[in-house]
């Protein structure tokens, strides 16, 4: 199978994540897209994650429930210590040697990838699908992609997707300030956030 990997804290998952996964699925004819919540990401301080791992995983499960080709993976969430992308992809490649893996990331991650731990190992173990975002033009992205492919014998490909201009941070701030998040997260996720009072001023 051809499997796309969408990693992130998903705090919370939102429609932009789902749109990106859907576009990768259709553009590169993937069989499945796995959403991989990270329990302890290296690029964010633990204090910036504002909901429990169990809540974040449940929100992902609710968000992807209607798409049979979207799957929730706990491969990073169950691990102790910091999870690095190269370790995750190497482990998946060993566990599923007959499958092809496509690691989905945004332009910001593509430009920062040389600062990631053992990034060369990530580039050689899977195909990278780099999505245009943050106003970066496709032509500029292709220059970066061509450089990485030539320098590291990587397989990085452009993913042009209609990304929603919203972030998980903005959603959390909207909830704190009593603004609506309808239309930017799936309804089931919105109801879950409301039912559990997630992201409101910290409860004592």
- Residue 204: the pLDDT is 38
Radius of gyration of the chain (CA): 17
CA distances from 122 to 9, 19, 64, 76, 103 (A): 19, 24, 26, 15, 9
- Residue 90: the pLDDT is 97
Domains of the chain: 2-164 (3.40.50.620)
- Residue 48: the pLDDT is 58
- Residue 203: the pLDDT is 46
**103 bridge partner residues:** 5, 128
Residues lower than pLDDT 50 in the chain: 45-46, 203-204
Torsion over CA: 10, 13, 19, 22 (sign): positive
CA distances from 140 to 23, 82, 84, 164, 172 (A): 20, 32, 27, 20, 31
């Amino acid at each position: 199978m051809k499997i796309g990997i969408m990693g992130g804290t998903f705090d919370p998952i939102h429609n932009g994540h789902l749109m990106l996964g859907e576009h990768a699925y259709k553009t590169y004819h993937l069989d499945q897209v796995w959403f991989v919540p990270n329990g302890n990401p290296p690029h964010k301080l633990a204090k910036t994650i504002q909901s429990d791992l169990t809540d974040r995983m449940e929100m992902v499960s609710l968000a992807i429930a209607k798409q049979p080709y979207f799957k929730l993976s706990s491969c990073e969430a169950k691990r102790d210590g910091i999870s690095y992308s190269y370790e995750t992809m190497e482990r998946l490649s060993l566990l599923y040697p007959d499958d092809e893996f496509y690691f989905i990331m945004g332009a910001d991650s593509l430009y920062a990838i040389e600062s990631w731990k053992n990034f060369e190992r990530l580039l050689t173990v899977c195909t990278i699908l780099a999505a245009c975002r943050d106003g970066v033009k496709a032509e500029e992205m292709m220059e970066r992609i061509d450089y990485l492919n030539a320098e590291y014998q990587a397989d990085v490909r452009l993913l042009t997707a209609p990304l929603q201009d919203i972030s998980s941070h903005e959603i959390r701030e909207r909830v704190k300030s009593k603004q609506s998040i309808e239309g930017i997260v799936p309804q089931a996720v919105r109801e879950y956030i409301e039912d559990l009072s997630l992201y409101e001023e910290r409860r004592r």
